[in-house]
Structure formats: C-alpha cells, structure tokens
Structure 1
C-alpha cells in the first residue's frame, strides 16, 4: 500500500490538511506543538495511507516529538513526501524543504496560508517556485479546504515522478560528503547515501545513534575534523554543521528573491497591533485573567447552568419515568429495577446533566486555540515560569490539562530538555481537568450560587499556583534543571471557522461521553452493588453496606479536613477511576431522584467551608487512572509514577487541612 508523509514546520496547517484528505480526524490548533506523535489515516480516494508527522523546523531534532519525524524518515520508505510550508514565512520554512529535497524521495510542496500572505501584502509565485525547486507546487488554504482536492488528485502520480533531489555544491565539504558516503555504502536499508552522509556530518543525533553500531564513527569524526581544518585554512566557517547550513541558506535566499515579491508588504499587520495590547508587559496577564473569568461566567452563570437544569429535568422526569414504566411492564424483579434505576440511571445520569457546561467550556477553549491566543499565553507566562524553573513552553501543556490531563501529559513531548519535560509531566495532574467540573458545579451551585464563576475560577488558579510552587521546589531540590532557551512561534490571529469550532468541541467532548458509557457506567454498577450489599447479604441498609464499611476506613483520616464521613470517603476512593464518578457515587449514596435532590442532601451534609475544602481536595489528590497510565508510559518509570500519585495525595491533604482549619480559626465554619 502506498504511504505518503506530511512534513513541515509547526503550525503550518499539516493536521488541518490531514483531516481534509483522510477519513480520520485529529486535534488541530492555531499554535505550535499540537501534533506530538505521528498520525496515520486512510486517504479518501483509497489511494493509500497518509502519515501526519510532528512539526519540525529541521531534521536535527531538539525534542522527542521532533525526533519522531527524523526517525520516520530514517527507518521508513514513504512513497512520497508532502512538504507543507507557510507562504507568509517561506524563507524560514524552506530550510526544512531543502533537507527533504536532499532526502531523495518523490516530493510535492503544499504552499499553505496563501490568504495570510496576501493579507500581509506578500506575493508568492507558485509557478516560479515549482520551476526553481523542480517539484510540483500546489497553493493551499488548508483550514478552508482550498487546494486539497488538487493534492488528493495529484498524490497517485507523484511516485511515478523520478525522485526529486537537488544536489547543492558544498564546496570544500564535498570531499568529506563523498568519503562519508563510502563508509555507509555497506549498510543496507538506508535512504539516499548522500543525504545520510550530510546528516552525519551535521551531527544529527537521531542518525548518529541509528548508525553508531553499524559504521566506524571514529572515521566519520576524523573526516569531519579534517574538513573543518580545511575550512579554517580557507577563512570560512570553522564548524562543519554551520558551513552546511550557510550553503543551504544561500540557496534559499536565491529562491525567495526570485519567487517572492514583498514590495507591497504592510509594515504593521493586525496581528502586530493586537499583540501590542494582548502581550503587553503589564496589561497582558490581567487581560488573560479577565478572559478566564469571562469564560467561567459564560459557562456556569449565563449559558451552561440553565442548560444543565433543563437536561436534569429531562433525565429525572420523562427519561426516568419511561424507564420505570418499561421495567414495570416487563415484570422486572426488584433487584433489576434497583440496579437500573438506582444504579445506572442515578449514577450515569448524575454526571450527564453537566454535559452542557462541559461542552460550553470546550467550545470557548477551542476558540482560544484556533484564534492564535494560546501561544500568546505561553509568552505571557514565560517570565513567571522561568522564575520557578521552567519556561513558557511548559504552560501550553498546563492549559491543555484544563480539558484533559491525558493529552496534556503527551503534549509535554514538545519540550526540548528531558528534565523540563519530566517536571512538566509530574505537575500537569494539578491542572483542573473537565472531569472535575461536575464536582465544582455541584458544590458551587449549592453553597456559592451567586459567585459560581469566581469560586470555580479559584480552583483553576489554585491548581496553577500549586504547580508553580512545587515546580520551584522540585527544580531546586529534586530535578535541577539545565538552562533553556524559550522559542515560541506566534501564529497570526484569525477568526475561527464555525465548522472547525464545532468539530473541535465535539472531539474534546466525546471523550466525556465515551467515559459516561464505559468507565462511569461500570463504576456506577460497582458502586451500587457495594451499596446494595453488605456482610448481612443483599438489600441491606446503606449504612451497613460494603461501601459504608470501605468509606468508614477513610473517614477518620478525612475528619480534620472537614468531611470525615463514610460517604465522602467512598466518593473520593471511587474518584480514582475518573473524577466524574465522585458525583455518580454521591447520587447513588444519597438515593435522590434528580440534581435538586442531590443538592439538598449536599447542603444538609456540608457547610460552605467544608464544601470548599472538599473541592480543593478533589482538585489536587491522586490523578485519575488514565492519567496515571499515561504518566507511566511517558516517563517509563514506576518510581516517578508512584511519586506523582504520592505527592498529589499529600498536597491535597495539606491544602484542605489549611483551608478548613484556617477557616475555623477565622470563624468561617
């Protein structure tokens, strides 16, 4: 089967094009680092598979996600390459294109963001570019789909074209390239030998590691040293990798001078004018916090909560009544009736009522991502992050964690330094994911009804503050970080398309629905069974059930935090599977018909101070099972995985203790 690889710089629209050309859909965003591993999809015309590689600026990787692309080109043999470039940043993007042309496989160039280039007064001549590079060039606007049909129709023809390869003259280095090529001639399964030789001489770590045991690396080093000596004698750049880059840059300048017209380029774009305000040294952070407050105001006060109330009425009314009538007509036993109504409907339904709030939140987050504001937030946070031992790039995984901690942990792959990457991975679970929202919405709706947005925002801020404080602690005593350089690409602002927003919101939200139909459903059945049975058999009183016994073991430990009941202990224990199950457990334990009934029970069992302490504990304590699994996968260490769980539980206990006992001292109990 034919396979085609999408390669390009970060944020050039590769994944948007991937979604247009294939039957798959992958997460997209208007910021660098969205794709952190290769994605594979079937082409819509049945012409083979398309591989979406992480964005890279060069074949010389700086981070794990960039290493994925370099390793793929070394180990695989794609039928052809599709190099996506940003027409408004062509000179910078062509640095990778030249390396891909030297790779020697059939290739085409997707000239994306033609609309952005035009808006900036930049004119790129596709025909001239095609003639100079010797490969097909297709103008694109990937996010609207313009030009994608041309690429799809052209793909089957590309492998028939002779392998597109340019052979730049590297002058004095040519002898070293030829000599290195002879060293690798005996190694089978390699791409073009000249390309491999160039990568070795440029000290590409992926290629060096791949060939370290197959060729004489000492000989390669001697060849490189001799060449550098010749360069010094000629008064040229002394470092061979720098010389190779300088030759490529000179070639790129010639290409751009012939194919790009900047005579009408506008001195100040809309993006620059907006950045003057949104990334202002003093105004930027307050604007971001105000935007976050508005986000929660819309989600919980203006739109989300009224819709949740309507859904709650539907589930507790017509849906529950219909199920009860159907069970009565079917002659269901009391056990079956209790399992379905008190277990499944109460448990799953108690979580589903929060779907409107979660989808509204995801819709606004999708807007932030696609507008280009996401990268600006990381820039705003850079000085603060640097003060605690990281850089602004680590803040992007933190923001992704507001949706779900699992993809956030995976997105940490884009961080270059291993210690920074590990530190970010360990701290991401402190970010308040959407699974915690039902808990916040439940308690804030009971005790802080007129200030729901502010109270829930405080949970997000608390998570960020704890992450920053622990980051400083860990980076000082546990993981002493190396100094790092923060480089972030600021994409142009753009108004997100409605279709993209809806699709992005659905892709984020369907994970919540999937959990409702699997993990939460299974958890609800298990919780109901433990509440329905006890040492005395089935149908026991709730206080004599296995669930009460298990929760009772935790109650004394939780008493200093303000919620030392078996009900709270049981809810927190089951919340390890998924944080949404905390609400499911309470719905089953308190045996209420609707959300209003559950809120009444919560109001009777907690005070405002106890509720806030409980919310803080849910925010900070052990990551959910899925997050623990992905931390183990990304760190390849059970020791660090256990540490992530252990410190989170200890932190949650300490903060809840301070909140409750401090509140009592202040007379807030």
Structure 2
C-alpha cells in the first residue's frame, strides 16, 4: 500500500480543521475565529489503495518562526518532509492567504491549493477563475466545501496524483529584482548537501537574508556569517524588502483571477459598524451574555426539575428496595447518600450546562467571539495586555485548560505569562452548577442578573491582575493588536451539535469517574474516623473541615461543611456541588431547599459564589500552568495568588453587603 504524508497548512481560520475533520472523521474543535489549533494533529485515512497520514498544523501567516505556531510548522516541513503540502486558502481573503502560498512555493515542496470560502466570495458577487489562478501559481487548485463534502474526493485524487508525479513542480518564481544579487551571493556560500534541490537552496538563502536564526544554525560557516554581517551593514533592510517583493507578486496575481466589485460593502461590514462600535460594543457584549444566561436558565431549569425529580425518585426507590432486601445500612447510605447524592447532585445541572454550551457555540460559530477581542482591545491595553490575550480568556468560559494552551498564540512571552496567570479567573463551565444552585436557592427570579455579575467580576479581576503583572512581574511593551475578523455566518447545527455533544459527554464522563470516586471517598471520610464508624460531626472529613473553617468566617460561611466542599473543589469545581450533596445527605431531596437551613444567607451565598469563582484553579489547570510555563514556581504562585485574591474579594463583598443589609 502506498503511504503518503500530507500537511494541511494555511492562515488562521481558513478551514483547515474543518477539512481535517471531514477526512478523518475526527471531531476536533473548529471555530469562526483565529487560534483554534495550537499544536499539530494527525489523522489517518485510506483511499484507492493509498494510506494517507493527514497532519493539521496551526494557522500561520508566514514561514518565519516568530511565533510558536510558525516555528512548529517550519520545523515540521523541514524535519518530517511531507510528500504533499495542501495549502488551505480562504478565497474571501485571497491576497493575504496567497502571501503564505508564495513562501510555501519557494520551498520547492509539492503544493496543492484547497480553496475554501468560495461561497462567501460569491455572496459578494465576485468570481474567482481557478484555471487562471492555477496557471499563475503553477499548482493545482481545487475548490472545496468541507461541511457539505463538496470537492473532497477531487482534492484527494489531486493530492495522490501529485505525490506520485515524477515531474517537479515549477511554479513561476518571485522576481526580486535588485535583491537577486544578494540572494545569489548567499546561495553560493551555502554548504553543498547531497539531495538538496537548487530551489530549496534558494529558499534557504532568502530565509538567511530575512534573518531567520533557526535556518542559520543549520548551515552556518565563517564565510557565510561574514557575508550576512556585511549585507546587514549595507543599510538595506532585506527582510522588509523581500516581503514587499512577495506582496507585490501576489498583488499582481489577484486582479488577474478575480472578477467583480471587490470594493462592495458586505453584510459583515455593516454589522461590525454596530457591534464593534467604540461606545456600543461593551453594552452589546454584556447584553449578549445576558441573553446567553436567559437561554441557559430558561431552557435548563425546565429540564433540571425533571432531572432533580428523577434522582430524588432513584434515591427513594433504592432506599425502599434495599430495605426490603435487608441490605446493610452502610451500603444503603453509600449508594443513596454517596453515589446517587454525589453523582446525581451534579447531573441535575446537565440541562443548564448543555444549554450554556449551545449558546456559547452559536456565538463562536457566528463569528461574534472574534469581535469581542477587538472590542476589549482598548480596555485590555490600558491594563497591560493586547486584545489578542482576551481570546484565551474567552475560551476560559468553557475550560481553563485549553484556554491556557491557546495562550501559545501570543508572540510576546510576557503577554503569554500574564495571560496564563489571569485566565483561571474567567468563570469556567465547571463553576456554573454552583451559580445555578445558589442563585436558585437565594435569588429566585434574579438568577440571570446574579450570574452575569459573577462573569463580569471574573473579567474585572482578570484585567486588574493583568495590570499588576505587567507593572511588576512581567514588564514589557504593549504590542499592537493584529486580528483577523472572520465574516459573520449562520452557525452550523452540525458543528454546534458536535461541540455540545463533546462537552456534555465529557461532563457525564467526569460525573461517572472523577465525581463518582470523589463522592465515595467523601462519603467514607464522613462516615468514619480513625477509631471506626462515627457520627458525621466527629468524622475525618469533619475534622479536616473544622481545621480550615475559621478562615472562611469573614465571608459568612465558616462552617466545616462549606470548608470541606471548597477543599474538595480543588479537584474540580463541580465537585463543590457533589460534595455538598454528599455532606448534607441529599440522596432523596433537593440541595437547594437545604442550603437556607444550614446557615447560608443571601449575603454569604453570594460571597460563597464569588470565592468559588476566584479561588485556586482545579488540579488539571494547575498542571497545564506548570507545563506551559515549565516552572513549578509559577504554578505554586498561581495557586497562592488565586487563593489570596478569592479570600480578599469574597470577604470584602460579604462585609460591604453586611453594612447595607
């Protein structure tokens, strides 16, 4: 069987991952905004007797290793030598996309152009002549629409044919004019390497003139180094001049292949004038978040009652059956109070979680999420971060782990560090059951407003922390925001369905594994002490809770039960709710109904939610902080800093509310 290695390369948000998913059957996250793929992914497929390894690389604008994504892509091409590069090109942004194409063609690798977003171009009444584009570039051009499976077979056939072709692609070279002499001088001093084609030697020479240090390390000689230093001292800015020539080459091609009114204003532009307005942008964003919570609570609460009734019935049924069968009392307690109470206590919020992910997916797939970064840019810059840093922070609304990994897309190392430190303050979905539980119990009819204030508070604490970091621990210049705004589009229900199912499935799996185990462990330490079976107030769990409970007294919830639930929540924030269900023995009843009877007031309930919002990230998040910073010191700093901020803000809010209550 013939084996073919294919690399998918293109600009951010050009449709690479959608194409990858369509071919491999994978369900990797796709998004209508840049920066979704932050590391390479591999998939396998078989077609016409060919074994194809498909590699989805991060979106890049250039083959110069200035960012982590560009470095990863360049290293993959050089070290793994793919048989064919599929350059995924967004037809609606042809000029910008072809700049990367020009660089790929200079490398001398076999390239096939996969043209996406042709329908967007047609909506602007612009026609792209693919035959002319193919002739101008000297490569095959295949239009594809991955979501509708259009052009996919044709692209595969073209890739296979190109991988087997004996003739070498000879795309028209970029005329560098007066720079050709310098290119030739550098090329003449390159070490002779067996099997290295002339075109690739030319590309190496161009990269050296651009100042690519990673390439220089591979081919450096004293003579070559001396020549490069001489050329650098000549006063010619080769990197800039070479880029100008490349763009000039692309700008000559684009008018030849596009026909229609390119200057015509499209719907996205008209919508952006309102949604990204300097004064209206923030209020509209808050209104959109409000609508998300209206949808989440309206739809979620309708089904949550059914879930609560089901688990209440399950607890009563098991108690009745076990009693009739003569099952030991401790076993009944374990199953009803521990397992059903703990796992059921978190699964009753599944409808709310699913509704939240539906709403967030629709906002993301429509293209609005990318606008939020632009809206926040001016505010973020005042607090020391680029608006681009807000993209990982927005992802933090789902889960802090992939959000922190997305910080790799930030070019500035100080921005990366600051973003990693502040992202856990964004309210992740695991905290959402806590808000639903307490707002339903203490703020009936005002759940949406209360939840919205928590999300806004998380953002506020994050940007204030960014200001502190950029002025102390991560000093540096504020970079400009260069962000692609994708076109608005109607969300794909298929994409939304996959996204929501993956999140819901993950939630159920966590409930059936981590929360299941945590509930059993918690039940055990609440039933026993070191002498054997004991009253709950004298158990191991109670002793642990009582030891740390005084620290929470200034926040109004200095009980051992609340303290123990928060401690357990470090494993995962949703475990706070399941722990409370186990502690209060809610195997057959409603946890919301119990909370007001165990010492909580509206003021302490709100302070509890604030603490849950801000305190130490879960173990998975701490682990990814260690991985991304490569430092135990920063991980422990994040642990302590988040805990301290949560304590101060929660206590302050409780005390202030107390003054006016």
- Match of residue 341 from structure 1: 336
Q: 1:563 aligns with which of 552, 557, 562?
A: 557
- Match of residue 309 from structure 2: 313
Q: Distance in 2 between matches of 1:85 and 1:553?
A: 60
- Match of residue 592 from structure 1: 586
Q: Distance in 2 between matches of 1:314 and 1:18?
A: 40
Q: Distance in 1 between matches of 2:414 and 2:4?
A: 39
Cα deviation digits, residues 130-171 of structure 1 (max 9, x gap): 122221110122343322232233332221123434333434
Is 1:280 matched with 2:277? yes
Q: Distance in 1 between matches of 2:365 and 2:435?
A: 27
Cα deviation digits, residues 169-214 of structure 1 (max 9, x gap): 4344434434434554356797833222222221234434x52xx5
- Match of residue 439 from structure 1: 434
Q: Distance in 2 between matches of 1:358 and 1:107?
A: 43
- Match of residue 62 from structure 1: 66
- C-alpha deviation, 1:321, in angstroms: 5.1
- C-alpha deviation, 1:449, in angstroms: 0.9
Q: Distance in 1 between matches of 2:321 and 2:26?
A: 39
- Mean Cα displacement is larger for which, 185-194 or 626-635? 185-194
- C-alpha deviation, 1:497, in angstroms: 1.5
Q: Distance in 1 between matches of 2:214 and 2:511?
A: 42
- Mean Cα displacement is larger for which, 110-119 or 149-158? 149-158
- Mean Cα displacement is larger for which, 150-159 or 628-637? 150-159
- Match of residue 517 from structure 2: 522
Q: CA contact under 8 A between 1:389 and 1:475: conserved in structure 2?
A: yes
Q: 2:247 aligns with which of 246, 249, 261?
A: 249
Q: 2:295 aligns with which of 291, 298, 320?
A: 298
Q: CA contact under 8 A between 2:581 and 2:591: conserved in structure 1?
A: no
Q: 1:89 aligns with which of 90, 93, 110?
A: 93
- Match of residue 401 from structure 2: 406
Change (3 A) 1:205 1:327: farther
Is 1:13 matched with 2:21? no
Counterpart of 1:436 in 2: which secondary structure?
A: helix
Is 1:148 matched with 2:152? yes
TM-score by length of 2: 0.94
Counterpart of 1:123 in 2: which secondary structure?
A: strand
**What is the correspondence of 1:43-122 to structure 2 with a 5 Å cutoff?**
43=45, 45=47, 47-122=51-126
Q: CA contact under 8 A between 1:533 and 1:545: conserved in structure 2?
A: yes
TM-score by length of 1: 0.93
Q: CA contact under 8 A between 2:316 and 2:588: conserved in structure 1?
A: no
Q: Distance in 2 between matches of 1:581 and 1:597?
A: 14
- Mean Cα displacement is larger for which, 499-508 or 384-393? 499-508
- Mean Cα displacement is larger for which, 320-329 or 409-418? 320-329
Q: 1:496 aligns with which of 480, 491, 496?
A: 491
- Match of residue 169 from structure 2: 164
Q: CA contact under 8 A between 1:114 and 1:139: conserved in structure 2?
A: yes
Where in structure 1 do 4 or more consecutive aligned residues deviate above 6 Å?
Answer: 188-191, 328-331
Q: 1:633 aligns with which of 627, 634, 638?
A: 627
Q: Distance in 1 between matches of 2:333 and 2:582?
A: 11
Q: Distance in 2 between matches of 1:93 and 1:220?
A: 32
- Match of residue 549 from structure 1: 543
Q: Distance in 2 between matches of 1:333 and 1:193?
A: 79
Q: CA contact under 8 A between 1:59 and 1:204: conserved in structure 2?
A: no
Q: CA contact under 8 A between 1:135 and 1:164: conserved in structure 2?
A: yes
Cα deviation digits, residues 76-126 of structure 1 (max 9, x gap): 111110001111211111110011111122110011100001111221111
Q: CA contact under 8 A between 1:138 and 1:147: conserved in structure 2?
A: yes
- Match of residue 39 from structure 1: 41
Q: CA contact under 8 A between 1:183 and 1:215: conserved in structure 2?
A: no
- C-alpha deviation, 1:627, in angstroms: 0.3
